[in-house]
Chain A
């Protein structure tokens, strides 16, 4: 099971020529980097810069965040036109009003809206910047060399690999994130959902539709 960009490009498709020694780590292997993490963490605790309890709480907080947060934002935008307008004008403030504080990460959020004519997708070609507070940690493919390289050059081919074929009449806009500016896609509300409550709508919004590599399907 591979999880990092180094693993992903070890298939003769890169120009560096060296082998990648790193293997997927298991929690029972004490690699150099695991030792480095332990050492830095313990030194910071000894210096009273952080506490073990704080680390535990932040890990729990990271584990508690998931695409359900973003799905709640999308469902509210679908249900409340005023909120939608506020979200498109100042997503950072609109999300803060729902309890999603970007300030924790020192970042701004922009929400881009899909329409019948425009499909948006998000990448971070330089790194792996991602709206973590709304979607949790990014999936491995988002951080991979292949996605970062190709999303901006051949987005339609990339979308096809995700099973999404868009007609030529739909423009594809690719948004390249930075450390300070993250993007969330507001997917189109599917037909047949007119009678659904905000909570019911949130339940049909999938993670990839908010990255732009999928759409939200109408409920069966």
Chain B
């Protein structure tokens, strides 16, 4: 069976040539992936496997940056680098900030 990320040869419409400049938070996701790879905490194939195990619903609902972020956080949790509890607590704390955006 074809996996959902395996798009080669499947029907699709015209190509949108709009050039989208990445925003800072999207660049930070790339930077985190670079740093985690460089520090040998995550390997590039683990990131790929993470993307391929998100499930088709999450994969297609998320943007490119979003699905990379999801894959990264899933991997960090699976590897015990961060815990689900610490992540939930941190997100709640960020939501409670008066001016959360840096």
Range class of the A interface residue count: 35 or more
Please give the distance in Å from A121's CB to the nearest CB on chain B.
13
Please give the distance in Å from A139's CB to the nearest CB on chain B.
6
Please give the distance in Å from A64's CB to the nearest CB on chain B.
12
Is B8 touching A146 in the complex (CB atoms < 8 A)?
Answer: no
Q: With contacts A9-B12, A35-B95 known, is A105 near B37, CB below 8 A?
A: yes
Q: Does A188 contact B (CB under 8 A)?
A: no
Is A127 touching B63 in the complex (CB atoms < 8 A)?
Answer: no
**Stretch of A36-44, A66-74, A76-84, A87-95 on the interface side:** A36-44
Q: Among residues 1 to 35 in chain B, which have CB atoms less than 8 Å away from a CB atom of chain A?
A: 5-20, 22-25, 27-32, 34-35
Is A127 touching B48 in the complex (CB atoms < 8 A)?
Answer: yes
> How many pairs of A and B residues are in contact by the CB < 8 Å rule?
213
Is B39 touching A49 in the complex (CB atoms < 8 A)?
Answer: yes
Is A11 touching B13 in the complex (CB atoms < 8 A)?
Answer: yes
Q: Which of B18, B72, B95 is within 8 Å of A1, CB to CB?
A: B18
Is A104 touching B12 in the complex (CB atoms < 8 A)?
Answer: no
Please give the distance in Å from A210's CB to the nearest CB on chain B.
16
Please give the distance in Å from B66's CB to the nearest CB on chain A.
4
Q: Among residues 32 to 53 in chain B, which have CB atoms less than 8 Å away from a CB atom of chain A?
A: 32, 34-39, 41, 43-45, 47-48, 51-52
Is B25 touching A4 in the complex (CB atoms < 8 A)?
Answer: no
Is A161 touching B15 in the complex (CB atoms < 8 A)?
Answer: yes
Q: With contacts A20-B61, A149-B8 known, is A39 near B91, CB below 8 A?
A: yes
> How far, in angstroms, from A161 to B24 measured CA to CA in the complex?
30
Q: Does A176 contact B (CB under 8 A)?
A: yes
